């Protein structure tokens, strides 16, 4: 297959590009690197079936020749990123999604939207099935991401119903693994970075809020299965094994062997109290379920971070960096 991956230079996108190339696909990776990084795909650039295009998908674009699928992953995806890039986040969720949909329509290609568990907001239903419509604050600080993805879902389904585009939607829950940015503001990368630097782990609130952590290799298997399927979704992709943020912090300290304490700070506005997917649809429609235990996934993640985070985070250089807000 020939597949376009928007946001292919990001954390998830680069892993998806690798997985598609491994099975023999041709991949066009589109990214403006506002939150991604060229080094994420540097090892792929010698592959004759890989093409890297530095572009912003909010501007009109095309890819020549026959095309089988478009996987639309482009978007800032962590609180510090969409806090810093609010208009860009709304733009890529709206104009960027429509441009990617038009590309799929022109080539009669499968279109897969990487949506998010943030579509459920601070859920009043637990765990979250796809039938749940969510509890989202449309004017809160997280709304630029939440509502951009909800609009992207609505737009995708409108293209499916009105124009016959082969659309599939996945809602991605917390994912972690190698290539996360140390300062991306996500809870796993923040805890690992702090533990390796010998600094207190930052917990917002009392740490009783829950998340469901899915290792990146598992998540990418689900994305590939959705690309290959004909299902419209939405389909939750995430690990239904729920744990508190406090439990995650203690596990990171155990794996890293760090003796540091835990530092509690005020809970951010609209931070979800509980987040856990129902994955019945993924099991039945995609034959997918996560298999990597969190202990194993965290060990891989810590090993990857160790060489990249310890030296620059020692001493004064750590103090000079701005600590991100949110988990």
State the pLDDT at residue 327. 33
| pLDDT on residue 310 | 52
Q: Among the options 82, 120, 132, 145, which is catalytic?
A: 145
pLDDT tens readout for residues 77-121: 988 999 999 999 999 999 999 999 999 999 999 999 999 999 999
Structure-token match 């596990």, residue found: 251
Report the candidate in 288, 230, 216, 286 with the shortest Cα–Cα distance to residue 69. 230
Nearest to residue 326, comparing CAs of 165, 196, 122, 183?
183
Beta strand segments in 146-224, E: 166-172, 175-176, 201-204, 210-212, 214-215
Tens of pLDDT, residues 24-33: 999 999 999 9
All structural domains of the chain with their residue ranges? 2-175+214-237, 180-211+241-272+293-320
The percent of residues above 70 in pLDDT, for the chain, comes to: 94
Task: Give the pLDDT mean for 130-148.
Answer: 94
CA distance 22 to 20: 5
The CATH class that applies to domain 2-175+214-237 reads alpha beta
Given a contact cutoff of 8 angstroms between Cβ atoms, the answer to whether 200 and 261 are in contact is: yes
Cα–Cα distances (Å) from 101 to 6, 93, 209, in that order, read 11, 11, 36
| Alpha carbon distance 317, 267 (integer Å) | 26
Question: Which residues is 185 bridged to in the sheet?
Answer: none
Class of domain 180-211+241-272+293-320: alpha beta
The 10s digit of each residue's pLDDT in 3-58 is 999 999 999 999 999 999 999 999 999 999 999 999 999 999 999 999 999 999 99
Active site residue 215: no
The helix/strand/coil state of 262 is: strand
pLDDT: which is higher, 1 or 320: 1
Question: Which H or E run contains 51?
Answer: strand 50-54
pTM for the model stands at: 0.92
């Amino acid at each position: 297959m020939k597949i376009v991956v928007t946001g292919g230079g990001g954390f998830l996108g680069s892993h998806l590009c690798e997985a598609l190339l491994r099975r023999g696909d041709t991949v066009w990776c589109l990214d403006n690197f506002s939150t991604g990084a060229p080094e994420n795909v540097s090892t792929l650039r010698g592959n004759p079936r890989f093409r890297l295009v530095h572009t912003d998908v909010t501007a009109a674009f095309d890819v020549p020749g026959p095309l089988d699928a478009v996987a639309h992953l482009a978007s800032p995806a962590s609180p510090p990123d969409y806090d810093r890039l609010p208009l860009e986040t709304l733009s890529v969720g709206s104009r960027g999604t429509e441009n990617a949909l038009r590309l799929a329509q022109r080539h009669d290609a499968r279109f897969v939207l990487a949506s998010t568990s943030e579509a459920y907001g601070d859920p009043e239903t637990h765990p979250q099935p796809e039938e749940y419509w969510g509890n989202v604050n449309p004017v809160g600080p997280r709304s630029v991401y939440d509502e951009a993805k909800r609009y992207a879902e609505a737009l995708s389904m409108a293209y499916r119903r009105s124009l016959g585009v082969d659309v599939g939607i996945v809602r991605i829950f917390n994912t972690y693994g190698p290539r996360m940015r140390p300062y991306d503001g996500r809870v796993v990368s923040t805890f690992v970075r702090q533990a390796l630097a010998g600094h207190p782990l930052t917990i917002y609130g009392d740490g009783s809020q829950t998340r469901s952590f899915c290792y990146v290799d598992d998540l990418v298997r689900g994305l590939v299965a959705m690309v290959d399927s004909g299902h419209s979704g939405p389909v939750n992709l995430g690990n239904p094994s729920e744990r508190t943020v406090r439990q995650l912090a203690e596990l990171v300290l155990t794996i890293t062997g760090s003796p540091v304490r835990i530092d509690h700070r005020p809970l951010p506005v609209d931070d979800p109290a509980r987040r856990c997917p129902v994955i019945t649809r993924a099991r039945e429609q995609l034959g997918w379920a996560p298999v990597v235990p969190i202990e194993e996934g965290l060990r891989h993640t810590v090993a990857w971070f160790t060489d990249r985070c310890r030296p620059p985070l020692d001493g004064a250089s750590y103090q000079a960096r701005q600590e991100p807000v949110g988990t």
